[in-house]
Structure 1
Amino acid sequence: MGYVGHHGIAERFAVECVGTALFTFLSLSAMGNHLLPRTKGHAMGFAWVAVAFGAALGINVAAFAPISDCFNPGVVVGRAMAGNVDWMDVPVLCFAEFLGAFVGAVMAWLHLSPHFRTKPYAPTLQPKGYFFERQDEIRMEALQMASYSSDPVAWRQRNAFQNTMQEVKRYLEDGPVTAAHNMKNRRRNSVQIGEINRRHCIDPDFKDAKQESQLKRLERGNSIVVADLKRYLERLEELERARQVALNAPLPDKKEHQADNVALLESDGMQEHVKIEDLAIMADQNIKLSVFATRPALYAPWWNLGCEISASALLVFFSVTFTRHFDAQMVEAGTVVPQIFGMKGFYSAILLFGIMVGLGGPTGPAMSASRDLSPRLVHYLFPIPGKGRSEWEYAWVPVVGNFVGGGVAGMVWLAFARLSPT
């Protein structure tokens, strides 16, 4: 069927460019408000970021729906498959969205420019009052949103596919587990381990092959998150020991040992401070990149791609459904009804909020090739104090996921349309 409106491609190009720029500007500013130090909304929470994204989309849809309201390359592809957009117009509209996202990212960069100049903050071991602490500190909620990781990028790249295949192999070997089986494993992990230790104390030569195999399977099932938690707790213990050493240092009257202790503490403290400074710089780089581009919570590209495809497909499917539904109401009314556009914007905002909160845990998610690629390019090109890598090795995931998700949503919508032509 194709496009049946009365607006030319030039008008729709301009609207898609302006609408995408405004959406990108509002959404990236919300990200910066949450992530960057010394902002009024620092660490305000993932849910509020999702609210801001939904509001940014809903306002633009309500304002520009009479002309064009895709603002997403995946939505353009999905609507083209559903017959709402001519295939000849797809490259033009997609280019408008990439251009608009670039302009919106530049606007966000200018808006947040002073907060990009904050210096990485490394907390010290000396107790200080809150009002004497530097306020450039990045809170844990912001680090979680930025997917902070101290692992080297090369290590994550090298092991991402290997870890994914190991997860698949473990699933194929052990098979899906029921809730009862899961509780059985938990009981085995608590009671039977104690029983094995007790019987081993009585008989040192005791070996139970079945229970040993069960324990090995449990060990294989340990998540990398558990290992990270252990390392984090060990790190806290080291810091606590260092603090106790500093507090229990000899008094000034014990001058014969004071010089040695001070030199030892200064050496250990300097090494500790250097390590914390390095981690603070890495966290600062993660934060600044996350304002512009998505970073997965766990770097597993193929799994991340699946998450992006599912989120994009859900967004595009309902976007096409809303468009068809409200267009039918317009045809039935025989005139332009502003309330219809307002309701479409409201439903679009609720949809994006729900997808971000429900499916946004693993990757963010981008759900738009233009929303990730163009701002990532701004991060790469524009001067940002202390910025790190733009992580181009991950940039293909949101782009491919968005276009594939749009195609999948279009095919699913066509299948439903054939089942119910009305």
Structure 2
Amino acid sequence: MSSSDIFIGETIGTAILILLGGGVCAAVTLKASKARGAGWLAIALGWGFAVMTAVYISAPLSGAHLNPAVTVGLAIKDGDWSNVPVYFAGEFLGAMIGAALVWVAYYGQFRAHLTDEDVVGDLSARAADTKAVEAREKGAGPVLGVFSTGPEIRNPAQNLATEIVGTFVLIIAVLTQGLNDAGNGLGVLGGLITALVVVSIGLSLGGPTGYAINPARDLGPRIVHALLPLPNKGGSDWTYAWVPVVGPLIGGALAAGVYNLAFA
């Protein structure tokens, strides 16, 4: 496959992944959404279906990595790093496009949610409190969870370990099943199996951190959150942003190492 095919496939596929995955988060979170309060099961299933859809769309062009941790894992497994920058570029660009499309699709709901006193509190009173304003601007804003992940208990070591473990499960599953004949992406059956693995990770390991398990899925939308003109959106929680980038990359590398030792 050519570099242009890889870039186009990863951009389109990752955009679809984030549009549908971020979309279910928006549907469950935002006021005036018919799915508000649907819960964690809806989110886990929504992300699984998002993975499946994105894989089947992008696989013919790029092999459907859709995740820098997958790209790193396959590069370590095969010893070929030549296309890694192209995969990364498509994945991060696609993630940002997908996040922007979530904002477009839920534009009215975002505005209603972020101007509701039950959500943002008494804005005039809070504006007079300098410390409250600073905390709001630095921490996680009320809709950041639609775009990127955050921990329930902020413990960097535990949060990092959770992301490493979750991503290890994902990448070892990708490497041991469903690869196409070229060995560089998911085959037809692999798309379905991987979607089910993502659902399983979400249900079993997603509680502590929201299971980023994908650096592009977290960092790209976090940048979009920081840039979008959302009223009262609060901060993008940049002090935590390194965890869902570093953790999945470590998890992917470890999975590839185990694969080469145990399965190759």
TM-score relative to the length of structure 1:
0.55
Distance in 2 of aligned mates of 1:286 and 1:112: 17
217, 232, 241: which one pairs with 1:395? 241
Within 5 Å, which residues of 2 pair with 1:161-200? Answer: none
Unaligned stretches of 5+ residues in structure 2:
none
Shift of the alpha carbon at 1:109?
Answer: 1.1
Within 5 Å, which residues of 2 pair with 1:264-343? Answer: 286-324=141-179, 326-327=180-181, 341-343=187-189
Shift of the alpha carbon at 1:288?
Answer: 0.9
Determine helix, strand or coil for the equivalent of 2:32.
Answer: coil
202, 225, 232: which one pairs with 1:386? 232
Unaligned stretches of 5+ residues in structure 1:
1-6, 123-136, 139-269, 331-339
Aligned to 2:93: 99
12, 31, 36: which one pairs with 2:25? 31
CA shift digits 1:137-186 (9 cap, x unpaired): 79xxxxxxxxxxxxxxxxxxxxxxxxxxxxxxxxxxxxxxxxxxxxxxxx
Shift of the alpha carbon at 1:301?
Answer: 1.1
| 1:80–1:90 CA contact under 8 A, matched in 2 | yes
Shift of the alpha carbon at 1:341?
Answer: 4.2
Aligned to 1:108: 102
Aligned to 2:262: 416
Aligned to 1:70: 65
Shift of the alpha carbon at 1:293?
Answer: 1.1
1:350 correspondence with 2:204:
no
Aligned to 1:14: 8
Distance in 1 of aligned mates of 2:49 and 2:98: 16
1:86 correspondence with 2:80:
yes
| 1:73–1:94 CA contact under 8 A, matched in 2 | yes
Structure 1 letter corresponding to 2:25: M
Within 5 Å, which residues of 2 pair with 1:136-151? Answer: none
Determine helix, strand or coil for the equivalent of 1:294.
Answer: coil
Distance in 1 of aligned mates of 2:165 and 2:141: 25
117, 120, 136: which one pairs with 1:121? 117
| 2:73–2:252 CA contact under 8 A, matched in 1 | yes
Distance in 1 of aligned mates of 2:161 and 2:152: 14
| 2:12–2:58 CA contact under 8 A, matched in 1 | no
Shift of the alpha carbon at 1:30?
Answer: 0.6
| 1:62–1:343 CA contact under 8 A, matched in 2 | no
Distance in 2 of aligned mates of 1:17 and 1:104: 9
Distance in 2 of aligned mates of 1:94 and 1:101: 11
Determine helix, strand or coil for the equivalent of 1:65.
Answer: helix
Determine helix, strand or coil for the equivalent of 1:71.
Answer: coil
Distance in 1 of aligned mates of 2:242 and 2:96: 17
| 2:48–2:198 CA contact under 8 A, matched in 1 | yes
RMSD: 2.4
Shift of the alpha carbon at 1:116?
Answer: 1.3
Distance in 1 of aligned mates of 2:90 and 2:142: 28
Shift of the alpha carbon at 1:321?
Answer: 1.5
Shift of the alpha carbon at 1:286?
Answer: 3.7
| 2:142–2:233 CA contact under 8 A, matched in 1 | no
| 2:178–2:188 CA contact under 8 A, matched in 1 | no
Shift of the alpha carbon at 1:41?
Answer: 0.2
Distance in 2 of aligned mates of 1:26 and 1:95: 20
Shift of the alpha carbon at 1:110?
Answer: 1.0
| 1:77–1:407 CA contact under 8 A, matched in 2 | yes
| 1:76–1:93 CA contact under 8 A, matched in 2 | yes
| 1:12–1:93 CA contact under 8 A, matched in 2 | yes
| 1:54–1:352 CA contact under 8 A, matched in 2 | yes
The structure 1 segments of at least 4 consecutive aligned residues displaced by more than 6 Å after TM superposition are none
Shift of the alpha carbon at 1:113?
Answer: 1.1
Distance in 1 of aligned mates of 2:98 and 2:191: 20
Determine helix, strand or coil for the equivalent of 2:83.
Answer: helix
TM-score relative to the length of structure 2:
0.87
Shift of the alpha carbon at 1:120?
Answer: 2.8
Distance in 2 of aligned mates of 1:54 and 1:380: 26
